[in-house]
Structure 1
């Protein structure tokens, strides 16, 4: 079995300074809208619970 064919794509995890353009490349169209919606829901829930969510790009 050989290597997979190369593909186009992006990952915000590999961006040194992720921004809106990197997000749009990683999560285009409806996918980006859904990811944004889910993150907002999670942040609202964290706030309700008094939990401080990790900051984007923060090392664990």
Structure 2
């Protein structure tokens, strides 16, 4: 009985991830967004494709 519930959750997670990706893609066309990159830096992304690091990650960790 537990297995069908896990499958429903996995399907819903895939659905939500796709919806979020589409929402962010549309939002990034018109708004300035900030995300952490792979190194932990906070990067501001502009609609024209320009990106700038606004906070560098602490390298001591």
What is the TM-score normalised by the length of structure 2?
Answer: 0.37
**Which structure dedicates a bigger proportion of its chain to helix?**
1
Greater C-alpha Rg: 2
When the two structures are superposed, what TM-score results if normalisation uses the length of structure 1? 0.38
> Higher strand proportion, which one?
2
